[in-house]
A and B are shown apart, each in its own frame.
Chain A
Amino acid sequence: QVHLQESGPGLVKPSETLSLTCTVSGGSISSFCLNWIRQPPEKGLEWIGYICDSGRTNYNPSLRSRVTISVDMSESQSSLKLRSVTAADTAVYYCAKWSVQEWAFDIWGQGTMVTASS
């Protein structure tokens, strides 16, 4: 069973870059598309983007200019970088596995809270 675990700083200063890592265990990161999703406090879910097949990416147009998602196969990790953060980027950030059988997110990490504040 695939397991996902997010990690990274819980506090980022405005205008700086948010950097998070999702570590995959129990399966091969190359066998599925790894997505990043966020949830501001007391709000709904927002899809950020995904990476598949060792490098194919797709991003939410609203974030595309600031986001980079990458993968390190050797470490079985995906990285999320979000540049020029503001308070509006404060959220719980999740990584999630996309299932092409269900056409849905079937496995989620526990999430990590990131606060953009000076």
Chain B
Amino acid sequence: EIVLTQSPGTLSLSPGERATLSCRASQSVSSNYVAWYQQKPGQAPRLLIYRASSRITGIPDRFSGSGSGTHFTLTISRLEPEDFAVYYCQHYDNSPPLTFGGGTKVEI
């Protein structure tokens, strides 16, 4: 089973700053199967990035994903007030389960 470890657990930043969120896999994975989600309090997660670096239509270009192998990164270039949320990475494998990282909370 592939384990995804996200760091840091909490990121305390101010609007306008850059956020860099890390997701490390316990073994090398295909970037085709790595996604990132945003979750705000009381809401379902929302897909932001798929295939490690492709943005979903409508997601602002301040969000970008990168990485390969065992290390993937979600970057928010300039934080807007609505970006303060919890972010999860996720990996798909042919063998169950689909796995999520533990999440990174981006707070003011």
Contact = CB atoms under 8 A, between A and B. Distances in A.
Contacts of A35: 98
Given A102-B35, A102-B56, A44 B50 contact: no
Interface residues of B, number: 25
Interface in A28-59: 35, 44-47, 49, 58-59
Interface residues of A, number: 23
B59 to A, nearest CB: 12
B45 to A, nearest CB: 6
Interface stretch (B19-27, B74-82, B100-108): B100-108
Interface string B79-108: 000000000101010001111111100000
Given A102-B56, A104-B92, A105-B37, A47 B99 contact: yes
Interface of B: 1, 32-33, 35, 37, 43-47, 50-51, 54, 56, 88, 90, 92, 96-103
* CB-CB nearest 9 A-B residue pairs: A104-B35, A102-B50, A108-B44, A47-B98, A45-B100, A60-B97, A104-B50, A44-B102, A44-B103
